[in-house]
């Protein structure tokens, strides 16, 4: 199963300051085209928040027009730049959202998808309150043996980017305890920081996706100014292998052609057959016998 993650789309009107810096709407349109035409095509797309820049009705209309072109099942989460009530008023409540928040579970795929709504109205930081954490643990305990993918907006760990960590997540330690008690949670992904960042909790990987629009500059000391950059927009992909997840982040809007190595080889079919005969190096091999 291949899960695509789009994050921090920041869809905005033409005249907005951010669109003059990076054209988030155009980039999201290209991201949708990339996802629709890639091989293999992802089974699902999860959007981990900051779908719009200001949470206005006009922005959700634009968002709906762009994401309406996506030909893959899509699961939305709000971020701190969103207004979930406006989202629902404009786009309707998605059928997978069954309660007052965007905490929901999707059971239709090989891996169980668990959405965690980390937003708090009117605030840029996130919070998981006690009732929400209890409900999450109850959800996870429903299927302790089924591989589970959790997705949220605010990362539940300190990224080292000080000004993003200062609008981080309250309740992260409690979430860590829950994940440790539920080892079927094989991957937790987030957005918010506009950079690919990863760390681990026990045997679970935590990953933040880059933005489909502007990125956050590396700023690992609080003397570094808070900067956003025109580093390339990216998508993230999480491949469930049956044993675990393997995650990638890739640029989808690059310039220049690729170099096809096969075209440099005289007898590519024979060379490919030889490579495939060797197979992935880890398969069936052991250094200790
Ligand atoms: Fe964002």
Q: How far does the centroid of ligand 1 lie from the alpha carbon of residue 88, in Å?
A: 19
* 80-84: average pLDDT: 97
Residues 99-116: pLDDT tens digits? 999 999 999 999 999 999
CATH of the domain at 113: 3.60.21.10
Residue 61 lies in a domain: yes
How many angstroms is it from 81 CA to the middle of ligand 1? Answer: 7
C-alpha span between 133 and 116 (Å, rounded): 9
Rama region for 17: left / alpha / beta (φ>0; ψ in -120 to 50; rest): alpha
Look at residue 273 and tell me if it is in a domain. Answer: no
Does the residue 186 lie in any domain?
A: yes
Q: What's the mean per-residue pLDDT of the chain?
A: 95
- CA 242 – ligand 1 centroid, Å: 31
CA of 284 relative to ligand 1 center, distance in Å: 43
Asked if the structure places residue 289 within a domain, the reply is no
CA–centroid distance, 280 to ligand 1, in Å, is: 37
Does any domain span residue 279?
no
Q: Residue 33 belongs to what domain range? A: 2-259
Are 160 and 198 in contact by the 8 Å Cβ rule? The answer is: no
Q: Please give the distance, rounded to the nearest whole angstrom, from the Cα atom of residue 281 to the centre of ligand 1.
A: 39
Confidence category of residue 54, pLDDT binned at 50, 70, 90: very high
Specify if 280 maps to a domain: no
What is the whole-number distance in angstroms between the Cα of residue 192 and the centre of ligand 1? 5
pTM (predicted TM-score): 0.95
Q: How confident is the model at residue 285 (pLDDT cuts 50, 70, 90)?
A: low
User: What pLDDT score was predicted for residue 32?
Assistant: 98
Does a structural domain hold residue 166? yes
Q: Is residue 267 part of a domain?
A: no
Q: Which residue has the tokens 């907006």?
A: 153
Predicted local confidence at residue 284, as pLDDT:
62
Please give the residue that has the higher pLDDT: either 194 or 288.
Answer: 194
Number of domains present in the structure of the chain = 1
């Amino acid at each position: 199963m291949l899960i695509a993650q789009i994050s921090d789309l920041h869809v905005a009107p033409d005249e907005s300051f951010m669109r003059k810096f990076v054209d988030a709407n155009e980039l999201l349109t290209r991201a949708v085209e990339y996802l629709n035409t890639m091989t293999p095509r992802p089974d699902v797309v999860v959007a981990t928040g900051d779908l719009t820049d200001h949470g206005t009705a006009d922005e959700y209309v634009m968002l709906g027009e762009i994401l309406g072109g996506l030909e893959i099942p899509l699961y939305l989460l709000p971020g701190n730049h969103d207004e979930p009530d406006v989202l629902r008023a404009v786009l309707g409540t998605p059928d997978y959202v069954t309660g007052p928040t965007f905490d929901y579970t999707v059971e239709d795929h090989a891996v169980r998808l668990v959405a965690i709504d980390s937003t708090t109205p009117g605030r840029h930081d996130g919070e998981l309150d006690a009732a929400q954490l209890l409900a999450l643990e109850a959800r996870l305990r429903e299927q302790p043996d089924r591989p589970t993918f959790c997705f949220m907006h605010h990362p539940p760990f300190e990224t080292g980017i000080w000004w993003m960590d200062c609008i981080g997540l309250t309740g992260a330690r409690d979430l860590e305890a829950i994940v440790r008690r539920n080892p079927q949670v094989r991957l937790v992904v987030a957005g918010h920081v506009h950079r690919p960042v990863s760390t681990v909790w026990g045997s679970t990987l935590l990953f933040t996706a880059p933005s489909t629009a502007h990125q956050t500059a590396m700023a690992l000391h609080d003397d570094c100014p808070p900067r956003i950059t025109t580093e390339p927009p990216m998508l993230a992909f999480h491949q469930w292998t049956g044993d675990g997840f393997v995650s990638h982040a890739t640029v989808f809007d690059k310039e220049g052609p690729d170099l096809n190595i096969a075209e440099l080889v005289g007898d590519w079919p024979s060379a490919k057959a030889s490579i495939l005969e060797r197979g992935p190096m880890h398969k069936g091999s052991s250094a200790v016998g």
